[in-house]
Structure 1
Amino acid sequence: MKNFLIAVAFLLGTATASLAQKADFEPEIAAFEAQPAPAANSIVFVGSSSIRVWNGLTEAFPGKTVVQRGFGGSEMNDAIKYIGRIIAHDRPKQILLYEGDNDIGQSNASARDVYARFTTFFALARKMAPSATITFISIKPSVARKQFLATQAEANRLIKTYLSGQKNASYIDVYTPMLDAGGQPRAELFQADGLHMNAQGYDLWKQIIGPALK
């Protein structure tokens, strides 16, 4: 246990020492912890607003115990900071992560930055939930952030390649189906802000993500 705690502290320190948090998500994390613990072997969705504002997520996949742990505006380092508290509470059999969108769109992170942060998240999640399947939902293309398409695609590629060499890990591609024939984000999938998805966008995600759930 002592060695485990040292390893976790090292990974957290490496990820966050030089990166100040842009928002305080403590109230949201505390609210998650205050909720009754779900059944063991739950499926936990962690991530930014694409997870937080997914209305009906917990009911979207019948027969699955789905837990919604999104906190809007978060970046990969926020997921790293709080993942221990989320996992300890929810005891998942699968962790689905949606982050990286804001790293690139808010903080102008490079694809390599996002990749490095993800591998830190993966290492922590693996230590905390050794038998859980860790799944990355690819960074989505959006109308509001179409100037970042190349960076998003490269970050997705790096993470997909990394996961292909890991056990109990998977990658879900929502990026490609959200592009039109011209390689641009499909506007019909988004709300008026061009960033957050509408019901049609989430219906598409449901179709893509459902088969990947354990």
Structure 2
Amino acid sequence: MLTAPTNTTQAQAAAPFANEIAWFKKQDSIKAPPQKPILFIGSSSFTNWKDVQDYFPGYPILNRGFGGSSLPHLLLYADEIIFPYNPKQIVIYCGENDFGGGPQITADSILVRFKRLHNYIRSKMPKVPIVYISMKPSPFRQKVLPQMQAANELIKTFANRTKRLEYIDVYSHMLNADGSIREDIFLSDKLHMNKQGYAIWQPLIAPYLRRK
């Protein structure tokens, strides 16, 4: 018979990111989230965007990104971080961390994972608009950039063929004229963006956000 984990270590082993999900629930109990928000979900590029609301004044942004997450984690916690909020729009940034799963993770794997997440959301929310932000190029991910670009293209093609699913290209806007990665828009870890990076993202994302 299964029993509940008896300590934090066991809980974390049984359910990765359980502490982050618990923290979201605690925040919701302290301050009620906005009604029908624009829900940002995904990995650390959203987690670190602490002042995202300031970039999109007038929009009810709710940020539920948790760093280190991959697409299967968003699927795992969809019942806790997506549906309870009854979002009017869902914005997803995820996929980079999936490549950390080893050489067996390919562009096709990423597409399959994204489709699973998309289809699960659709099974519960048939009409909610979904936006996928392309995986970004970073010096830290240099070795997997070809696979990342291929995965971006596969998801873009899928989005173009799918109702109420839109794709935003941030990848190409984060490069120099010669095609190299702009290193000035990253923190010292060469992975996470600084304010200059988010300043690039803001005008690319804003036209896709729903006011109603």
* Normalised TM-score (structure 2): 0.86
Q: Distance in 2 between matches of 1:151 and 1:80?
A: 22
2:18 equivalent to 1:26? yes
- Residues 51 and 162 of structure 1: CA distance in aligned 2, closer, same or farther (over 3 Å): same
- Residues 58 and 128 of structure 1: CA distance in aligned 2, closer, same or farther (over 3 Å): farther
- Aligned equivalent of 2:7: none
Q: Which moved more, 1:197-206 or 1:179-188?
A: 179-188
Per-residue CA deviations over 1:157-203 (Å, capped at 9, x if unaligned) read 00010011111110010011011122221101101111000010011
Matched position secondary structure for 2:56: coil
Q: Which moved more, 1:81-90 or 1:91-100?
A: 81-90
Matched position secondary structure for 2:64: strand
- Aligned equivalent of 2:143: 147
- Aligned equivalent of 2:160: 164
Contact 2:46-2:66 within 8 A present in 1 as well: yes
Of 80, 85, 107, the residue aligned with 1:85 is: 80
Query: When the two structures are aligned, how many residues end up with a matched partner?
Result: 194
Contact 1:37-1:90 within 8 A present in 2 as well: no
Q: Distance in 1 between matches of 2:177 and 2:143?
A: 17
Q: Which moved more, 1:186-195 or 1:99-108?
A: 99-108
Unaligned 5+ runs, structure 1? 1-20
Of 177, 180, 194, the residue aligned with 2:176 is: 180
- Residues 199 and 106 of structure 1: CA distance in aligned 2, closer, same or farther (over 3 Å): farther
Q: Distance in 2 between matches of 1:128 and 1:183?
A: 41
Unaligned 5+ runs, structure 2? 1-12
Of 81, 100, 115, the residue aligned with 2:95 is: 100
Amino acid at match of 1:74: S
Q: Which moved more, 1:100-109 or 1:37-46?
A: 100-109
Matched position secondary structure for 2:59: coil
Contact 1:60-1:206 within 8 A present in 2 as well: yes
Q: Distance in 2 between matches of 1:171 and 1:115?
A: 13
- Aligned equivalent of 1:9: none
Contact 2:34-2:62 within 8 A present in 1 as well: no
Q: Distance in 1 between matches of 2:168 and 2:117?
A: 17
Q: Distance in 1 between matches of 2:79 and 2:53?
A: 21
Identity between Structure 1 and Structure 2 (%): 41
